[in-house]
Structure 1
Amino acid sequence: MSATSPALAPSPLPDERKRLLAQVVDGLDGASLWWVSGYAAGLAQAHGPASPQLALLPPAAVVSAAPAGATTSTLTIVYGSQTGNAKRQAEQLAAAAEAAGLGVRLLRADAYPTRELARERLLYVVISTQGEGDPPDDAIGLVEFISGKRAPRLPELRYAVLGLGDSSYADFCGISRRLDARLAELGANRLFAVGEADLDIDTVATPWREQALAQARELLTSEHAAVPSATVTPLRPANVPAYSHDRPFAAELLLNQPLSGRNFKGPGFLQYGAAGKDVRHIELSLQGSGLHYEPGDALGIWQRNPAPLVEGVLRTLQLDGEQAVSHDGQTLPLREWLAGKRELNKLARPLLALHAAQSRSDELNDLLAPGRNAALAELLNTHQLIDVLRRWPAHWDAQELVAALRPLAPRLYSIASSRKRVGEEVHLTVDVLNYEAFGYAHLGAASGFLSSLQDGDSAPVYIEANERFRLPADGARDVLMIGPGTGVAPFRGFVQERAETAASGRNWLFFGAQHFNQDFLYQSEWQEALRNGELHRLDLAFSRDQADKVYVQQRLRESGRAVYDWLENGAHLYVCGAIGMGKDVHAALLDIVIEHAGVDADAANDYLTRLQTGGRYSRDVY
Structure 2
Amino acid sequence: MQLQVTNSPFNQEQVESLNRLLPTLTESQKIWLSGYLSAPHATESSILAGSPVRDAPEAELSPNKVAQITSREVRILFGSDTGNGQALAEEMFQKLEERDFKVSLSSFDDFKPKDLKKVQDLLIVTSTHGEGDPPDNALSFHEFLHSKRAPKLEDVRFSVLSLGDQSYEFFCQTGKDFDKRLEELGGERLYPRIDCDVDFDEPAADWVEGVLGTLHVSQEVDDTVENLGQVDSSLLTTKDPVYSRSNPFKAEVLENLNLNGRGSNKETRHLELSLEGSNLAFEPGDSLGIFPKNDPSLVDKLIEQIGWNPEDSVPINKQGEQRTLRDALLFNFEITRLTKPLLEQAAQLFTNDGLKKLVKPGQEEELKSYIDGRDLLDLVQDFQPQGVSPSEFIQALRKIPARLYSITSSFKANPDEVHLTIGTVRYHAHGRDRKGVCSGECGERVEPGEFLPVYIQHNRNFKFPTDSKTPVIMIGPGTGVAPFRSFLEDREESGMEGKTWLFYGDQHFSTDFLYQIEWQKWLKEGVLSRMDVAFSRDRPEKVYVQHRMLERSKDLFQWLKDGASVYVCGDEKRMANDVHTTLLTIIKQEGNMSHEEAEVYLSEMRQQKRYQRDIY
The correspondence of residues 360-509 of structure 1 with structure 2, limited to 5 A, is 368=359, 376-395=367-386, 396-451=388-443, 452-509=445-502
Q: If the length of structure 2 is used for normalisation, what is the TM-score? A: 0.80
In structure 1, the residue corresponding to 2:192 is in which secondary structure?
A: coil
Q: Please state how far the C-alpha of 1:261 moved relative to its aligned partner.
A: 4.8
Equivalent residue for 2:323?
A: 332
Q: Please state how far the C-alpha of 1:365 moved relative to its aligned partner.
A: 5.2
Q: Please state how far the C-alpha of 1:368 moved relative to its aligned partner.
A: 4.2
In structure 2, the residue corresponding to 1:346 is in which secondary structure?
A: coil
Q: Which is further off, 99-108 or 76-85?
A: 99-108
For the residues of structure 2 that align with 1:241 and 1:151, how far apart are their CA atoms?
Answer: 47
Change (3 A) 1:206 1:565: same
The correspondence of residues 67-86 of structure 1 with structure 2, limited to 5 A, is 73-86=72-85
For the residues of structure 1 that align with 2:70 and 2:151, how far apart are their CA atoms?
Answer: 17
In structure 2, the residue corresponding to 1:199 is in which secondary structure?
A: coil
Which residue of 570, 584, 592 corresponds with 2:586? 592
Q: Please state how far the C-alpha of 1:381 moved relative to its aligned partner.
A: 4.1
Q: Is the 8 A contact 2:346 2:396 kept in 1?
A: no
Q: Is the 8 A contact 1:577 1:621 kept in 2?
A: yes
Q: Does 1:344 align with 2:335?
A: yes
Q: Please state how far the C-alpha of 1:412 moved relative to its aligned partner.
A: 0.7
Q: Please state how far the C-alpha of 1:89 moved relative to its aligned partner.
A: 2.9
In structure 1, the residue corresponding to 2:78 is in which secondary structure?
A: strand
Which residue of 290, 299, 307 corresponds with 2:288? 299
Q: Which is further off, 340-349 or 202-211?
A: 202-211
Q: Is the 8 A contact 1:170 1:373 kept in 2?
A: no
Q: Does 1:521 align with 2:514?
A: yes
For the residues of structure 1 that align with 2:189 and 2:478, how far apart are their CA atoms?
Answer: 44
Q: Is the 8 A contact 1:295 1:471 kept in 2?
A: yes
For the residues of structure 2 that align with 1:424 and 1:218, how far apart are their CA atoms?
Answer: 42
Write out per-residue CA displacement over residues 567-612 of structure 1, whole angstroms, 9 at most, x where no aligned residue. Answer: 1111110000111221121111111111111111111111111111
Q: Which is further off, 487-496 or 107-116?
A: 107-116
Q: Is the 8 A contact 2:71 2:101 kept in 1?
A: no
Equivalent residue for 1:8?
A: none
Write out per-residue CA displacement over residues 320-356 of structure 1, whole angstroms, 9 at most, x where no aligned residue. Answer: 1111113421111001111111111232221011233
Change (3 A) 1:192 1:393: same
Write out per-residue CA displacement over residues 532-574 of structure 1, whole angstroms, 9 at most, x where no aligned residue. Answer: 2222222122222222222222222222222111111111100
Q: Please state how far the C-alpha of 1:619 moved relative to its aligned partner.
A: 0.3
Equivalent residue for 1:142?
A: 141
Q: Does 1:568 align with 2:561?
A: yes
Q: Does 1:280 align with 2:274?
A: no
Equivalent residue for 1:621?
A: 615
Q: Which is further off, 584-593 or 381-390?
A: 381-390
In structure 2, the residue corresponding to 1:528 is in which secondary structure?
A: helix
Q: Is the 8 A contact 2:497 2:527 kept in 1?
A: no
Q: Is the 8 A contact 2:77 2:107 kept in 1?
A: yes
Q: Is the 8 A contact 1:108 1:138 kept in 2?
A: yes
Identity of aligned residues (%): 41
Q: Please state how far the C-alpha of 1:361 moved relative to its aligned partner.
A: 6.1
The correspondence of residues 143-162 of structure 1 with structure 2, limited to 5 A, is 143-162=142-161
Aligned length: 527
Q: Does 1:245 align with 2:245?
A: yes
Q: Please state how far the C-alpha of 1:140 moved relative to its aligned partner.
A: 2.2
One-letter amino acid of the structure 2 residue matched with residue 286 of structure 1: L
For the residues of structure 2 that align with 1:334 and 1:446, how far apart are their CA atoms?
Answer: 21
One-letter amino acid of the structure 1 residue matched with residue 605 of structure 2: L
Q: Which is further off, 108-117 or 518-527?
A: 108-117
Q: Is the 8 A contact 2:286 2:462 kept in 1?
A: yes
Q: Is the 8 A contact 2:413 2:490 kept in 1?
A: yes
Q: Is the 8 A contact 1:169 1:377 kept in 2?
A: no
Equivalent residue for 2:571?
A: 578
The correspondence of residues 600-611 of structure 1 with structure 2, limited to 5 A, is 600-611=594-605
Q: Which has the higher contact order (CA 8 A, sep 6+)?
A: 1
Q: Is the 8 A contact 1:78 1:106 kept in 2?
A: yes
Q: Is the 8 A contact 2:134 2:142 kept in 1?
A: yes
Q: Does 1:309 align with 2:298?
A: yes
The correspondence of residues 152-301 of structure 1 with structure 2, limited to 5 A, is 152-217=151-216, 242-262=242-262, 273=263, 275=265, 277-301=266-290
One-letter amino acid of the structure 2 residue matched with residue 83 of structure 1: T
Equivalent residue for 1:31?
A: none
Change (3 A) 1:372 1:596: farther
Segments of 5+ residues of structure 2 without an aligned counterpart are 1-50, 52-68, 219-233
Equivalent residue for 1:122?
A: 121
Q: Which is further off, 325-334 or 357-366?
A: 357-366
Q: Is the 8 A contact 2:281 2:415 kept in 1?
A: no
Q: Please state how far the C-alpha of 1:371 moved relative to its aligned partner.
A: 6.4
Q: Is the 8 A contact 2:354 2:383 kept in 1?
A: no
Q: Please state how far the C-alpha of 1:373 moved relative to its aligned partner.
A: 5.6
For the residues of structure 2 that align with 1:333 and 1:551, how far apart are their CA atoms?
Answer: 49
Q: Is the 8 A contact 1:418 1:494 kept in 2?
A: yes
In structure 2, the residue corresponding to 1:148 is in which secondary structure?
A: coil
Change (3 A) 1:346 1:545: same
Q: Which is further off, 353-362 or 250-259?
A: 353-362
For the residues of structure 1 that align with 2:365 and 2:538, how far apart are their CA atoms?
Answer: 32
For the residues of structure 2 that align with 1:100 and 1:380, how far apart are their CA atoms?
Answer: 46
Equivalent residue for 1:3?
A: none
Q: Is the 8 A contact 1:71 1:119 kept in 2?
A: no
One-letter amino acid of the structure 1 residue matched with residue 543 of structure 2: V
Q: Which is further off, 82-91 or 131-140?
A: 82-91
For the residues of structure 2 that align with 1:383 and 1:184, how far apart are their CA atoms?
Answer: 38
Equivalent residue for 2:531?
A: 538
One-letter amino acid of the structure 2 residue matched with residue 593 of structure 1: I
Change (3 A) 1:367 1:476: farther
Q: Is the 8 A contact 1:100 1:217 kept in 2?
A: no
The correspondence of residues 6-25 of structure 1 with structure 2, limited to 5 A, is none
For the residues of structure 2 that align with 1:519 and 1:319, how far apart are their CA atoms?
Answer: 45
Q: If the length of structure 1 is used for normalisation, what is the TM-score? A: 0.80
Q: Please state how far the C-alpha of 1:203 moved relative to its aligned partner.
A: 4.4
Write out per-residue CA displacement over residues 487-536 of structure 1, whole angstroms, 9 at most, x where no aligned residue. Answer: 11001111112222233221111111222222221122222222222222
